[in-house]
């Protein structure tokens, strides 16, 4: 679909990623007093580093979905297309829900379980995109690696608290 020569996904994909980023950041910000008061492992990155990491990950994610949805190999009427788009959306929902579980509800164990599900979605996306949409897949690898680290960090926080 186009609006005066502009494909709608050029707006929707970045706006969706921005919405996830802002909502997750808002929820996280509301729980920072609690987070600062709990026991954290010595390898916990500084908050500014975490913010930069997520900013880069969200930018790469937006580029990934744009490359996928605008690739000439992408059949927008195929089941594959709808599954990949569904997984991108599910990824965003799980990303925000993790912030709710961890920072709002302080359910550290369940946030770890949710992160495992989130990262399985990331891995499935990478594997699905790898053959015909390699650039999109590669752009999602930092997300997978970061969530792997964050899962270990959250698990360590669970053990300490």
Phi, psi dihedrals of residue 3, rounded to the nearest 5°: -120, 105
Which position has the token pair 């053990």? 159
How confident is the model over 45-71, as a mean pLDDT?
94
* Chain mean pLDDT for the chain: 93
pTM score over 0.85: yes
Q: What are the domain boundaries of the chain?
A: 9-32+46-160
Query: Does residue 10 register a pLDDT over 90?
Result: no
Task: Return the biggest CA–CA distance within the chain.
Answer: 55
Query: Does residue 95 register a pLDDT over 80?
Result: yes
3-state secondary structure the chain: CEECCEECHHHHHHHHHHHHHHHHHHHHHHCHHHHHHCCCCCCCCCHHHHHHHHHHHHHHHHHHHHHHHHCCCCCCCCHHHHHHHHHHHHHHHHHHHHHHHHHHCCCHHHHHHHHHHHHHHHHHHHHHHHCCCHHHHHHHHHHHHHHHHHHHHHHHHHHHC
How would residue 71 be classed by pLDDT, with cut points 50, 70 and 90? Answer: confident
CA proximity to 20, closest of 52, 58, 57, 53: 58
How confident is the model over 31-58, as a mean pLDDT?
96
Name the least confident of 8-17, 37-46, 51-60, 120-129: 8-17
Query: Does residue 133 register a pLDDT over 80?
Result: yes
pLDDT at residue number 146: 98
How confident is the model over 58-72, as a mean pLDDT?
92
| Burial of 3: CB neighbours in 10 Å, binned 0-12, 13-18, 19+ | exposed
Q: What angle do CA 7, 64, 150 make, to 5 degrees?
A: 140
């Amino acid at each position: 679909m186009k609006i005066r020569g502009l494909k709608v996904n050029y707006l929707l994909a970045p706006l969706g990623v921005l919405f996830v980023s802002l909502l997750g950041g808002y929820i996280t910000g509301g729980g920072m007093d609690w987070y600062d008061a709990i026991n954290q492992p010595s390898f916990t990155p500084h908050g500014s580093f975490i913010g930069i990491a997520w900013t880069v990950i969200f930018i790469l994610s937006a580029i990934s979905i744009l490359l996928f949805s605008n690739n000439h190999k992408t059949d927008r009427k195929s089941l594959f297309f709808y599954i990949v788009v569904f997984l991108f959306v599910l990824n965003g929902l799980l990303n925000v829900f993790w912030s709710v579980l961890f920072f709002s509800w302080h359910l550290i164990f369940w946030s770890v379980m949710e992160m495992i599900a989130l990262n399985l979605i990331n891995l499935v996306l990478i594997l699905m995109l790898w053959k015909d949409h390699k650039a999109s897949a590669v752009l999602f690898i930092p997300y997978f690696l970061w969530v792997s680290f964050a899962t270990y960090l959250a698990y360590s926080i669970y053990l300490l608290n």
